């Protein structure tokens, strides 16, 4: 395909279409509204459905319902709306309903500054809903990565029957870049794994060898119980520990056993590095430039760019940080993912570079730390 000038939010919408999304429910909110605007036009063109809901709570509820009925479904929001979705995220995890939730982060808390950028929802993406639960969250740093990771988010959600969060930032959602999208035939699309057994034999939460039970489109001959309560293999509420414990174990194992598939990252120059920079999302763009300048000054700087931020790539970070003298973690917040890096690499080795005023971090802010320590 020829190169086009495309906005990040537009790339997210087109990535959803490419992944097979046929349903979107959402409520307008800056800086995610353009995703809804594009899908309001594009989904009817392919026979899909777009619904503007009364709020973000209803939006995710509609998405979960559409997914159970057999559709690949998505919603998009920003910080305040993401907060409202947390209860239904927990419901989606408990009921094992695949869907994609896009959070185009803006400055907070509360209304904050809707047109300013931030990485303030990182911990909320992991721990926003209550209880112990697995989750997958991806973070793009460019328009093309937004397209690719949106497709990947749908693949993960279908493969593991789990809500997947795409954490963008305002700067990525609103920037425009020249991109060449892949040919449709070359895009790897994960179709839903549907049951092959008749309705009378079907168990929606059966303990499969893959840890992920096959699904059945609700209403197409299959009627089964769906609840946010702990449930048995047929979906009915239970308080029996011999039924709850296997479910808890399976829910964790379906992610833990698949880390080699889920953890997406890039490594550059870590083999002989003295300083390691760990970054994600929009901040990775700034970090890349700072590293190039530092290397031109003769500094041995490695780069670990995380596309998957949840589950956290513990072993990857541990390996990359093992032989360096210092680890620099830049974030557009007061320090969130750095807590995980410190846990793995050790607090004394880790230096934080934080900016939380809604402005893009500058390469000089990261470079100053690299040069100070190197000197």
Residue 48: CATH number of its domain: 3.40.50.970
Do residues 144 and 13 share a domain? yes
Does 84 reside within a domain? yes
* DSSP H/E element including 45: helix 33-45
Per the domain annotation, does 37 fall within a domain? Answer: yes
Q: Is the pLDDT of residue 218 over 90?
A: no
Q: Are residues 28 and 141 in the same domain?
A: yes
Same domain, 181 and 290: no
Peptide bond into 208 cis (omega under 30): no
pLDDT band, very low/low/confident/very high, at 207 (cuts 50, 70, 90)? confident
Kindly state whether residue 322 falls inside one of the protein's structural domains: yes
Check: CB of residue 112 under 8 Å from CB of residue 146.
no
Domain count within the chain? 2
Residue pair 146/13 in contact (Cβ under 8 Å)? The answer is no
Say whether both 51 and 175 belong to one domain.
Answer: yes
For residue 320, what are the CA distances in angstroms to 169, 218, 256, 344? 26, 45, 20, 11
Is the predicted pLDDT of residue 231 greater than 90, yes or no? yes
pLDDT at 374 over 70: no
Q: pLDDT tens digit string along 8-44?
A: 999 999 999 999 999 999 999 999 999 999 999 999 9
The reported pLDDT for the residue numbered 373 is 66
Asked whether the predicted pLDDT for residue 229 surpasses 80, the reply is yes
Considering the domain boundaries, does residue 348 fall inside one? yes
- Torsion angles phi and psi, residue 148, rounded to 5: -65, -45
**pLDDT beyond 60 at 375:** no
Residue 154, φ and ψ in degrees, nearest 5? -65, -40
User: Range of 360's domain?
Assistant: 267-374
Give the Cα separation of 334 and 320 in Å (integer): 24
Can you tell me the distance from the alpha carbon of 85 to that of 316, in angstroms, rounded to the nearest whole number? 31
- Domain annotation covers residue 203: no
pLDDT band at 144 (very low <50, low <70, confident <90, very high): very high
Question: Tokens in use for 351?
Answer: 């230096």
Tokens of 40: 């309001």
Any idea what the CATH number is for the domain that residue 348 is in?
3.40.50.920
Dist CA 249 CA 245 (whole Å): 6
Higher pLDDT, 220 or 274: 274
End-to-end CA distance of the chain: 47
Q: Does the pLDDT at position 294 exceed 70? A: yes
Q: How confident is the model at residue 222 (pLDDT cuts 50, 70, 90)?
A: confident
Average pLDDT over residues 136-160: 98
């Amino acid at each position: 395909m020829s190169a086009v000038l495309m906005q990040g939010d537009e790339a997210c919408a087109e990535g959803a279409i490419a992944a097979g999304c046929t349903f979107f429910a959402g409520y307008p909110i800056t800086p995610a509204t353009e995703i809804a605007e594009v899908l309001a036009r594009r989904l009817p063109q392919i026979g899909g459905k777009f619904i503007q809901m009364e709020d973000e709570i209803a939006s995710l509820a509609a998405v979960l319902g559409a997914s159970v009925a057999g559709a690949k479904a998505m919603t998009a929001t920003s910080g305040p709306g993401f907060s409202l979705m947390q209860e239904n995220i927990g419901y989606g995890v408990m009921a094992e309903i695949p869907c994609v939730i896009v959070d185009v982060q803006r400055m907070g808390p509360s209304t904050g500054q809707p047109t300013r950028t931030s990485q303030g929802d990182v911990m909320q993406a992991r721990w926003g809903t209550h209880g112990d639960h697995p989750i997958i969250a991806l973070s793009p740093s460019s328009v093309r990565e937004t397209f690719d990771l949106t497709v990947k988010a749908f693949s993960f959600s279908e493969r593991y029957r789990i809500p997947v969060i795409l954490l963008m930032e305002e700067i990525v959602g609103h920037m425009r870049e020249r991109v060449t999208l892949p040919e449709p035939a070359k895009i790897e699309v994960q179709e839903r794994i549907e049951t092959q057994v008749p309705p009378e034999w079907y168990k929606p939460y059966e303990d499969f060898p893959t840890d992920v039970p096959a699904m059945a489109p609700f209403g197409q001959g299959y009627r089964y119980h769906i609840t946010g309560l702990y449930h048995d293999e047929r979906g009915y509420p239970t308080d029996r520990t011999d039924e709850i414990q296997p479910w808890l174990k399976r829910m964790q194992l379906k992610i833990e056993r698949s880390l080699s598939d889920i953890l997406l990252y890039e490594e550059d120059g870590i083999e002989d590095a003295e300083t390691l920079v760990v970054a994600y999302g929009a901040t990775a763009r700034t970090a890349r430039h700072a590293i190039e300048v530092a290397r031109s000054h003769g500094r041995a700087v490695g780069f670990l760019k995380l596309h998957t931020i949840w589950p956290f790539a513990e072993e990857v970070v541990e390996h990359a940080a093992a032989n360096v003298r210092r680890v620099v973690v830049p974030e557009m917040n007061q320090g969130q993912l750095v807590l995980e890096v410190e846990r793995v690499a050790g607090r004394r080795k880790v230096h934080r570079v934080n900016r939380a005023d809604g402005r893009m971090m500058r390469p000089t802010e990261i470079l100053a730390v690299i040069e100070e320590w190197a000197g």
